Amino acid sequence: MLNIWSNPDSRLNDSSIAFLAGYLEGYITRELINYHFHNVWSTYCNEHETFCIKVFDFYKQNIQFMRNKVETESKVNPFWYQVGLILEQITGLEEGMKQTSIFRSETRFDQLEIGKIFILNSIPDLWELESVLGRAIKSKDRGKTTCSAIIKLLPNDLIVGHNTWLEFSQMLRILKKYDLSYRTGSSEHSNVVPGQIISMSSYPGLIFSLDDYYLLSSGLVVTETTNVNFNLTSFQLVKPTSVFCFVRMMVANRLAVDGSSWSRIFAQYNSGTYNNQFMIIDYKRYQANSFNQKPGLFWILEQMPDFFIAKDMTSALVTNKYWASYNIPYFEDTYLIAGYPMLRNAYGPFFDHHETVRAKQFRRKQDQANDYKSVLKLLRYNNYTQDIDTQCDVCKPPYSATVSLASRGDLNDPNGSYSIPIYGLINETAIDVKVTSYELFKQFKMYAISGPTYEDVPPFIWSNSSLKYEILHEGHPDVWIFSPIYF
C-alpha cells in the first residue's frame, strides 16, 4: 500500500509537486517496478523488433504532440494543464526509479523519455496499437476479455465491485492513494481540483489504475471493463496526434465533478486505444434508504476509434437494481462499430450482450449480493465444472474455467478441444477483486483481495503450475491465497 500526499500550504508549484510525487514513488518502489517491467515487457520485442520500432516511433510522435499542446495551451486550458502535470509525474517516477539527482531545471517534462515508466503506463493502449501497427496476434489472444464489474443498488446501500482479468505475469500490485493539491489551472487563484484525492488499485510504476478502479474526492467512483475492437478497418483512425486513454482518465478524474463532466473531459482527443465501457457513480447524488434516485447518479460511456457515446443510466440501475459489465458493449452503435455481430454469427451467444456467460451468471446470482462481503464473494465466483452456464457441449472436456465471473484460464485442459480459442488453456486470470460501499466510500476506503480466485477451485501456486516455465514472475509469491485488505 502506498500513500503520497502534498502539503496544501506548500509554496511549491504544481509542476514541482507532480515531479516530486513521481520521484518519491519511483524511489520507494523501484525494486517492484523493475520486477514488474521484467515480467511484462523484457521479452516483448524479442521476436517483433520491426514492430517495436514502429511502436516507439508512434510513442515519440505522441509525446511530442502532447508536449507541444502543453506548452501552447496549458495556461488557458485546464485539460492541457493537467496533461502537463501527468508528464511531470511520469518523468519524476522514471528518475526516482533510477535514483537520478533530484536537483534539475524547473521544467522537466521536456526531457521525458520513452523509458520503463512510459512503457508500463501505455501497455493497455498498446493492445490496440498491436493491430494498428501490424503485429501478428494469436487467435486466442484476440478475443481476450478483461474484467467483470457490478454496481448493486440495495434498499440501504450502493455497492461498486470490480475484478481485473490480466496475464499471470501482471499480478504484482500496489494499492495507491494520491492526495495532491493541484489547481485546475496555472493561476495561483485557480481552485484546487475536485479530484484531489484518488484512491485506486494499481501496479508498480503506474500513475493510473489500469484495472480501472478509482475512488475520488469529487464524490465519484469510476470503473470500467474493456470492449475489444474487432473492426480492424477502424484502426486506421488511430493517430499519434491524440491522448492515450490512461492520460485522459487521470485528467477526468481530477477535473470532473459528475458523470456528465467526466464523460465530456475524457472524450477529448480520443486515441481510439484501450476502448472501454466506463461506469461513473456519483455518491453525492445517492439517496440512502431509497430506490428513488436522482438523475446523474450513474453514467456509462463507451469509446471506439473516432466514436464516443455517454448516457445517464440511473433509471436502468433503479429499475433492475444492478448494473453488470463484462466486456461486451451495451450501446448498439458501439456493438456494431466494434464488429461484434460478426463474432456473434461465427461463435454464437458468447459475443451477445444479453446471452454471454457472465450476463447470465450475473442475472442468476446478483440477488445473493446484498452487502459488500457478498459482492466480494460474487466477483470471486468460478465453479466451472458445475455451473450450468460454463458448460460447453462441443468442448472436450465439456466446460471452461475462462468464462466465469472470475476467470481461471490456467485450469483448462492443455490437450482439450474448444469451440472458441479463449475457452482453452490461456494465460489470463481474474487477478483481484475490489469493492466499496456508501459507508466505505465516505472514508475513501475499499476492500481488496489480490490473486486468482481459490474459493471453489484450487489456489494458484506457481511451483505447481504448468505456466511457471513460460511466464515470467520475478518477485511474485509462490502461493496465492490472500484475505481481503482494508484500504
The pLDDT value given to residue 114 = 78
340-358 pLDDT, tens digit per residue, is 999 999 999 999 999 999 9
Average pLDDT over residues 170-187: 97
The pLDDT value given to residue 146 = 83
The DSSP 8-state label assigned to residue 83 in this structure reads: H
252-310 pLDDT, tens digit per residue, is 999 999 999 999 999 999 999 999 999 999 999 999 988 899 999 999 999 999 999 99
The pLDDT value given to residue 107 = 41
Q: Which range is least confidently modeled, 54-58, 139-143, 233-237?
A: 139-143
Could you identify the residue written with the cell 475490489? 434
Average pLDDT over residues 397-421: 95
The pLDDT value given to residue 48 = 84
The pLDDT value given to residue 462 = 98
pLDDT(9) > 90 = no
Share of the chain above pLDDT 90, in %: 90
The pLDDT value given to residue 378 = 99
Which residues, 6+ apart, have CB-to-CB distance to 89 below 8 Å? 18, 19, 21, 22, 207
Share of the chain above pLDDT 70, in %: 95
Q: Can you count the helices (H) and strands (E) in the chain?
A: 14, 18
Which numeric CATH code is attached to 2-486?
3.60.60.30
**H-state helical runs in 74-197:** 78-98, 116-132, 139-142
Average pLDDT over residues 172-193: 96
As given in the structure block, the three cell numbers for residue 108 are 522537466
Average pLDDT over residues 76-87: 98
28-78 pLDDT, tens digit per residue, is 999 999 999 999 999 998 888 899 999 999 999 999 999 999 999 999 999
Which residues, 6+ apart, have CB-to-CB distance to 294 below 8 Å? 285, 287, 314
CB 388 within 8 A of CB 399: no
Q: How confident is the model at residue 100 (pLDDT cuts 50, 70, 90)?
A: low
Q: Which residue has the higher pLDDT, 241 or 141?
A: 241
The pLDDT value given to residue 437 = 98
**Residue-averaged pLDDT of the chain:** 94
**CA 255 from centroid of its chain's CA atoms:** 19
The pLDDT value given to residue 113 = 65
Q: How confident is the model at residue 142 (pLDDT cuts 50, 70, 90)?
A: low
Q: How confident is the model at residue 141 (pLDDT cuts 50, 70, 90)?
A: low
How far are the Cα atoms of 44, 136, 273 from residue 421, in angstroms, in the given order? 22, 16, 23
Angle, vertex CA 481, rays to CA 476 and CA 486, nearest 5: 95
The pLDDT value given to residue 99 = 84
Burial of 441 (0-12, 13-18, 19+ CB in 10 A): buried
The pLDDT value given to residue 71 = 97
The pLDDT value given to residue 109 = 43
Distance CA 90, CA 94 (A): 6
As given in the structure block, the three cell numbers for residue 413 are 485442459
pLDDT(105) > 50 = no
Distance CA 69, CA 277 (A): 27
The pLDDT value given to residue 49 = 87
Radius of gyration of the chain (CA): 21
Q: Which residues pair with 174 in a beta bridge?
A: 202
